[in-house]
Amino acid sequence: MDFAFNEEQLMIQEAAAGFLGKASDSAAVRTAMESPQGYDAQVWQQIGQELYWPALMIPEQYGGVGMGFVEQAILLEQMGRHLLCAPFLSSACLATPALLLGGNEPLRETWLPELAAGTMTATLAFRQARSGWLAPHQPSARAYAQGWRLDGEYDAVLDGASADLLILAAAHEDGRLGLFAVPADQAGIERSALPTLDQTRRLARIRLTNVTVAPAQSLTLDQDAAALLEQTLQIGAIALACEQTGAAQRCLDLTLSYIGERQQFNRPIASFQAIKHRCADLMLHIENSRSAAYYAACIAQQVLAPDGDAQLKAELIEAAPIAKSEASEAFMLCAADSIQLHGGVGFTWEYDPHLYFKRARASEQLLGTPAWHRERLAAHILESRP
């Protein structure tokens, strides 16, 4: 047990902070979020081909770097801090884990090297429930001689318009769930980018009309994919919690820097106890969020490792909801207070707090709200004690 970063991990953290401090400063974020694609293709190319971030936790046999989810978590915290606009969460934290955890080796061999290099991106498409993960009705997968035909619609898919590969969730006629890897340009797929409240992260509607998929495209080789999807979403939620933690920290840092300079009543407003105590509470929430996110990242690492510890793997069911609910609330609170403590300028487009506030709201919703995760946790706790 050593719940601290080692030297190599600290170097990764420092390098990520250094790169993003320039490549994703306020001006860069604003340019990216107003661009048609939603991110800077050149920065993404650097991330893939110079920094190897999408490759980080992909095993070497698929062209990856072969590190773990803890290293990924370090990157995510820095990405959140700098509000990076990029398809990392969708491609490296949802689609990649789905491929890694699914049982289809040829699919891994086909797609992972491309995803590792960043020359392609992927996303996971499923119909979202109002407050949780899966809506009761997913698009349908009807069997035919050569596989299945998919029909239906996904209302809001993360980076759905820009991804090259789609991992599609669909329900078989017998109620089992399927997950299929489908190139985005396949016939019958219609994608439309949606304008979003949080402009730093893109959503798209995807409509499927008679999209044919072969058995070889099934991530689970025709087995029920419900458990795989569940695990993937838990890992995605943990990744998001790491990102939210970094973003929450940045909200406090921006605020501290502003209130240290802003003078009223001949004092910096940071010297007023009403403000100090509020900032202390923000730090409390951020540290809680960080501890929960790091712990969950260690659990995710075990889940993704072929030889992961069984006892630690079993903690996924509580580590994910704890991290996602703590981090969502910490980020929302820090972003909201960041606007309040900036005073009037916090309400302007020019200052950054609104960018974080909007990201906070979108992230709180994405992959399960705090209340939804807590209900799942409650069910787990109570059902394990008959």
Partner 1 sequence: MKIGFSAEDEAFRQQVADWLQTHLCGEFEPLRFRGGPGDEHMFPEERKAWERELAKGGWIGIGWPTECGGRGLSISQQVIFHEEYARAGGPGRMGHIGEGLIGPTLVALGSEEQRQRFLPGILEGREFWCQGYSEPSAGSDLAGVKTRAQLENGEWIINGQKVWTSLAHESQWCFVLARTEQGSVGHKGLTFLLVPMEQPGIAVQPIQQLTGTSEFNEVFFSDARTAANNIIGAPGDGWKVAMTLLGFERGVSTLGQQMQFRNELEEVIRAAQDNGADRDPLIRQRLAQAWAGLKVLRYNSLRMLSGTQDGSLRGEAMIYKLAWSNWHRDLGKLAMDVLGPQAELLEGAPYQLSRLQSLFLFTRSDTIYGGSNEIQRNIIAERALGMPREPRAR
**Residues in contact with partner 1 by the rule CB under 8 A:** 1-6, 9, 70, 252, 256, 260, 267-268, 270-271, 273, 275-277, 279-281, 283-284, 287-288, 290-292, 294-295, 297-299, 302, 309, 311-312, 318, 321-322, 325-326, 371, 374-375, 377-379, 381-382, 385
Minimum Å distance from CB 326 to partner 1? 6
Minimum Å distance from CB 269 to partner 1? 10
Nearer to partner 1, 149 or 290 (CB): 290
- Look at residues 285, 279, 353 and name the one whose alpha carbon lies nearest to residue 325: 285
Minimum Å distance from CB 3 to partner 1? 4
> For residue 48, with 0-12 CB atoms within 10 Å meaning exposed, 13-18 middle and 19 or more buried, which class applies?
buried
Minimum Å distance from CB 330 to partner 1? 11
Nearer to partner 1, 22 or 380 (CB): 380
Minimum Å distance from CB 241 to partner 1? 12
Minimum Å distance from CB 111 to partner 1? 29
- Rounded CA-CA distance 281/89 in Å is 28
Nearer to partner 1, 4 or 145 (CB): 4
User: Which of 126-164 are b and which e, b meaning 16 or more Cβ less than 10 Å from the residue's Cβ?
Assistant: bbbeeebbbeeebbbbeeeeebbbbbbebebbbbbbbbb
Check if the beta carbon of residue 153 is closer than 8 Å to that of residue 208.
yes
Q: At what angle do helices 7-23 and 41-49 cross, to 10 degrees?
A: 160
Nearer to partner 1, 314 or 345 (CB): 314
Count, residues in the chain:
386
Nearer to partner 1, 117 or 283 (CB): 283
In terms of DSSP bridges, do strands 165-172 and 140-144 run parallel, antiparallel, or are they unpaired? Answer: parallel
Nearer to partner 1, 9 or 196 (CB): 9
DSSP state of 129: P
